[in-house]
């Protein structure tokens, strides 16, 4: 296998895959990628299974050097400037990095998390069925913590006969983040309208465990403590200060604050990519609508291989372009009208 050496990195860069499932009843949270759609896009480009382990790169600049053979990589998620030996590496395209070359990634320009997938994957020993890092629980592989300078990852060696590939991009909707109300929305009464009709700011204290929201106080008429019950990715708890917290990938499996709503799974990645200081609004939808959006997202991920084409190849129909009157009526500027 080849080696990927961490040269520089920020505190929010770690190995993440789909997460670990089936053990929340024992107190083990799922963890996994904050934006699974972007993870799937990077992996599909690299020729891996959609939710295989990749490097989840936080908002800060990062650099990796390749050793012991070339690697092929793909980037998706938060946009940032990237280059290999001075040549730009584009988002949603693959690139071959030769032995000894360094991949440098600038700070995120939009969004928070960028996913670096490597053809052939990342070697590690699954912990409860996943390589995903949960630093608070000291879980994950090959390192049970965020990556640090000097770390060395065993990764797949590039199949040098491969063509570089690109993935058709898609525009993320700018609509409000959709939620299903409850399960304790009856604890809030008229405060539900405050929650849905207000604009909220993503707090700088947000992390992989929860995104804190800043805005008007959401009042609990019946008090802010309930008997602890199950929480899921996307649950929106409201503690005593009335400022909601959206539980994210490393959330606890239970909680004693009432949950006013739950972000639908199809919007979790889009919400996770919102930078601190960004403003967000929420829109209530039905369970049936949420399930339908989840199916659409699953179908999109399943269809990703069909969106791949050879990088640099033209997708224009030149015959039709020649037929089209794209310039309108041409005139000579020096002739009399």
For the chain, domain boundaries: 2-165, 177-285
**pLDDT tens digit sequence for 163-217:** 888 988 766 677 999 999 999 999 999 999 999 999 999 999 999 999 999 999 9
CA–CA gap between residue 72 and residue 153 (Å, rounded): 14
Say whether pLDDT at 318 is over 70.
no
CA–CA gap between residue 2 and residue 101 (Å, rounded): 12
| CATH architecture classification, 177-285 | Beta Barrel (2.40)
Whole-number pLDDT of residue 171: 67
Whole-number pLDDT of residue 320: 47
**pLDDT tens digit sequence for 267-316:** 999 999 999 999 999 999 999 999 999 999 999 999 999 999 998 754 44
Please provide residue 42's backbone torsions phi and psi, each rounded to the nearest 5 degrees. Answer: -65, -45
174 Cβ contact list (under 8 Å, min separation 6): none
Look-up of token digits 């990062």? 62
Nearest to 57 by CA among 127, 142, 117: 117
pTM (two decimals):
0.90
Nearest to 268 by CA among 232, 303, 241, 321: 232
CA–CA gap between residue 73 and residue 155 (Å, rounded): 10
Confidence of residue 162 (pLDDT cuts 50, 70, 90): confident
Percent of the chain with pLDDT over 90: 80
Nearest to 85 by CA among 69, 72, 68, 104: 104
Cα 15 to Cα 28, 107, 144, 274, distances in angstroms: 18, 18, 9, 20
CA–CA gap between residue 188 and residue 28 (Å, rounded): 29
| CB atoms closer than 10 angstroms to residue 95 | 21
In contact, 102 and 64? CB cutoff 8 Å: yes
């Amino acid at each position: 296998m080849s080696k990927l050496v961490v040269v520089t990195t920020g505190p929010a860069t770690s190995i993440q895959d789909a997460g670990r499932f089936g053990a929340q009843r024992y107190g083990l949270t799922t963890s996994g990628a904050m934006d699974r759609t972007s993870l799937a896009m990077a992996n599909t480009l690299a020729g891996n299974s959609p939710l295989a382990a990749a490097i989840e790169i936080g908002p800060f600049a990062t650099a990796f050097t390749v050793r012991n053979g070339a690697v092929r990589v793909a980037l998706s998620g938060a946009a940032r400037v990237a280059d290999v030996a001075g040549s730009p590496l584009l988002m949603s395209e693959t690139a071959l990095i030769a032995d000894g070359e360094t991949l440098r990634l600038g700070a995120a320009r939009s969004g928070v998390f960028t996913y670096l997938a490597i053809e052939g994957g990342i070697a590690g020993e699954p912990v409860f069925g996943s390589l995903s890092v949960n630093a608070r629980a000291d879980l994950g592989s090959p390192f049970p913590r965020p990556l640090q300078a000097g770390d060395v990852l065993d990764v797949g060696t590039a199949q040098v006969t491969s063509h570089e590939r690109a993935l058709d991009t898609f525009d993320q909707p700018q609509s409000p983040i959709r939620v299903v109300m409850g399960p304790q929305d009856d604890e809030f009464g008229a405060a539900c309208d405050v929650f849905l009709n207000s604009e909220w700011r993503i707090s700088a204290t947000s992390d992989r465990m929860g995104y804190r929201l800043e805005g008007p106080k959401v009042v609990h008429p019946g008090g802010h403590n309930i008997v602890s019950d199950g929480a899921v990715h996307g649950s929106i708890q409201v503690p005593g200060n009335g400022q909601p917290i959206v539980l994210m990938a490393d959330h606890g499996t239970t909680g004693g604050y009432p949950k006013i709503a739950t972000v639908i799974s199809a919007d979790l990645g889009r919400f996770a990519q919102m930078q601190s200081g960004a403003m967000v609004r929420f829109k209530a939808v039905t369970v049936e609508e949420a399930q339908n959006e989840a199916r659409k997202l699953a179908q999109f991920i399943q269809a990703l291989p069909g969106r791949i084409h050879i990088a640099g190849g033209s997708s224009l129909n030149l015959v039709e372009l020649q037929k089209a009157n794209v310039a309108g009526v041409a005139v000579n500027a020096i002739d009399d009208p």
